[in-house]
Amino acid sequence: MTRLGFVLISLLLLGSLATGAGLELAGLQRTSLDWTTVRLLFYTKNGTGYVHDNIPASIEAINELAREHRFSVDVSNDPGVFTDDNLTKYSALVFSNTNNVVFDTDAQRVALMRYVQAGGGFVGIHSASGAERTWKWFAGLLGGAFSRHAPIQRFGVLVLDRTHPSLAHLPARWDREDECYYLVRMNVNMQILAVNDLTTIQDPKEKPSTFGDVFPSVWYQEFDGGRQWYTSLGHRKEDYAGAELRRHLLGGIESVVRETPRDYSRAYAVSPGDAPRTR
């Protein structure tokens, strides 16, 4: 067996063991989601530093998806929306290409923690992994923290789980022009859904060997009471107008939405430094 094949099998087994009855946990046995009951917060705040030019395109994409599927979405870059009273109305929070420090106060960070602990859904798109990089709990929620990326180029994405709604429309190998993100402090108990094939990537720096010849790019997990989905893909603003990426994002959102209300009696955080609980 090749090294690549061994790593892919290991990642598949890790995802299955981590989620137990993985499909059921991910909500994928649900016959359909009533999108008319869904309300999203689409958050685009960036701190000092690089700001992606794809944010307006991602906003246009989510607004058009909302009209098409008849769900509600509120777009904001104001960290002041992070309060218990405000967040409780949302089915999921989507961090679209957020980067660096995206909160003004610890109270706002705690509001995010409490929302997740109450059973809320969280989606991260592309540079969302670059947000709040020094906050340990957030890295756990996201699944890791951004380290660097290879130059933008065309490469292969290997789809490991085509039953997941974010990937069901894609071939087993998804060739695309994008940035290959490398993350650090990655969780060990995530369901890895897709990986970047590092053998197809030219990088002037040494590629990480953590996962052999691949690196995870899309994953799902249950973390601290909530559901989380992340894709490192989506750098090019042009792609947000296309059906492939839009269906990818919509499926990720679908996988984290619970049709039951958030239960704040399960929320316990009082400080950003509070550790996640094992459920």
Average pLDDT of the segment spanning 169-178: 98
Query: In order of start, what are the domains of the chain with their CATH numbers?
Result: 3-262 (3.40.50.880)
Phi-psi region of 263 (alpha: psi -120 to 50; beta: other; left: phi over 0): beta
**Residue 61 has what DSSP assignment?**
H
Q: How confident is the model at residue 32 (pLDDT cuts 50, 70, 90)?
A: confident
In this predicted structure, what is the pLDDT of residue 16? 43
Task: Reduce the secondary structure of 172-202 to three states and give it as a string.
Answer: CEEEEEECCEEEECCCCCCEEEEEEEHHHCC
- 103-151 pLDDT, tens digit per residue, is 999 999 999 999 999 999 999 999 999 999 999 999 999 999 999 999 9
Percentage above 70 pLDDT, the chain: 89
Average pLDDT of the segment spanning 215-235: 99
